[in-house]
Structure 1
């Protein structure tokens, strides 16, 4: 469970005391909690509004989920190759605060060809990939969800809910903001079905951007050199399937 650390908001002495309390409680429930770093503990604490008991229950559940879902510690690329081949997700640059950007294209996802266990592994793979890019001094990433071309064949409520639940339950306080762009009217019907499954903390992070305000919002959030070229910027995003190679090149 230990992940790339970083800042993400100053913590006062009182919060660090709660982190220590959370560690003690979690370790008494699952010895594997000893492997979790303090910044991760703090994220779980913040995800549960500083309630140590609730944060401990959430953390222990996440530890046990991780051991079952990712027994080897990481998702092998070959196990998610089919989803990677669809080029649904790209790695972008960083926003003005230094948070790495994930660029998603839901119109490249088709419900008819989705295999749920493989899709869940793919979600873990992409979340681990973007979290690995979070620099020291940050704890969150930004997601641009480009819904251009999205239609009924792409609508997959079960998959969307599964992805959101994995993110909010097992990667708490990692998403900084999700910019929803080029949103077709019909998507809002799907969103009404997804919305109840999103917790209150995460809901506020989804921002729907009108097409007429898109460039203004992008330039407020991101320097032109870091805006994806698909959105009029200067940066060529890296496909998730090529991400591991780009990090080792």
Structure 2
């Protein structure tokens, strides 16, 4: 799961003032907003939806309204670590403690460490981490990077194609243009069957952001070095850093971030289900 965009931006839309006017037009088309919907719909957010719909006001409005409806029922800003911590025990997906050279938040995924069989909990865990990654984006940065390590990958322990499709639908429809780049590191041949099934759910622009990289491959090494500092990049991705997932330490960090999330969205955690 590494997508977050639906269509190609019109290459003729290059005038910044024209784009700003489009953002303003979309805001007018949405009408009055309140509460969390108003908080969500920043200018940067509206711009991402416009990019995802080729700067069409009508299509971007429809997409954004569907997201606001989804957020009002799914309530991603109310998911707390205590609800999904069991999904993260093996470190199958987690937020790294470093950024790439563009300042993007980095999410690390290790499909072979899949540890549960509940699709709903898998999706909730990933949505939680997406929201957390967004919370930790530097000012002015809208995208994130993915590092996906396929060591030990097996179709028997990984998520199903259906669950992958459901995740893709959520990320493409409700987190448009959030992906900067996704590196699929050393995928085995067995992954090809899974990839062939999943790739058709990706739009062409997202597909171009997915990079296959391999160890001891000069082109792959140069690509990784161009986007990551070797001193930060874990050895399993060709870097020099020793990075081991510590569930207790990560949990402490997530609990601290939960307090930031509650403050940002104005949520009283005492009123949330335990």
| TM-score interval for Structure 1 and Structure 2 normalised by the shorter chain | 0.7 to 0.9
Asked if 1:225 is matched to 2:225, the reply is no
Does 1 or 2 have the higher relative contact order (CA < 8 Å, sep 6+)?
2
Structure 1 match to 2:61: 56
Match of 2:139 among 136, 140, 156: 136
Worse-superposed segment, 74-83 or 97-106: 74-83
Structure 1 match to 2:243: 236
CA shift, 1:245, in A, is 4.8
Structure 2 residue runs without a partner (length 5+): 1-13, 260-274
Structure 1 match to 2:127: 124
TM-score by length of 2: 0.78
User: What per-residue deviation string (whole Å, max 9, x for no partner) do you get for residues 144-202 of structure 1?
Assistant: 11111101212321222222222111111111000111101111111111111112232
Q: What is the rounded CA distance, in whole Å, between the counterparts of 2:99 and 2:182 in structure 1?
A: 13
Structure 1 residue runs without a partner (length 5+): 1-9
Say whether the 8 Å CA contact 1:91–1:238 is kept in structure 2. Answer: no
Match of 2:71 among 63, 66, 80: 66
Structure 2 match to 1:45: 50
Q: What is the rounded CA distance, in whole Å, between the counterparts of 1:237 and 1:134 in structure 2?
A: 22
Structure 2 match to 1:14: 18
RMSD of the TM alignment (CA)? 2.3
Q: What is the rounded CA distance, in whole Å, between the counterparts of 2:245 and 2:55 in structure 1?
A: 37
Say whether the 8 Å CA contact 2:95–2:129 is kept in structure 1. Answer: no
Structure 2 match to 1:3: none
Alignment of 1:211-222 (within 5 A): 211-213=215-217, 214-222=220-228
User: What per-residue deviation string (whole Å, max 9, x for no partner) do you get for residues 194-231 of structure 1?
Assistant: 11111223222111113332433221211122212443
Worse-superposed segment, 185-194 or 195-204: 195-204
TM-score by length of 1: 0.85
Runs of 4+ in structure 1 over 4 Å off: 30-33, 237-240, 245-248
CA shift, 1:246, in A, is 6.7
How many correspondences in the alignment? 235
Say whether the 8 Å CA contact 2:93–2:108 is kept in structure 1. Answer: yes
Say whether the 8 Å CA contact 2:93–2:126 is kept in structure 1. Answer: no
Say whether the 8 Å CA contact 2:105–2:133 is kept in structure 1. Answer: yes
Q: What is the rounded CA distance, in whole Å, between the counterparts of 1:62 and 1:173 in structure 2?
A: 14
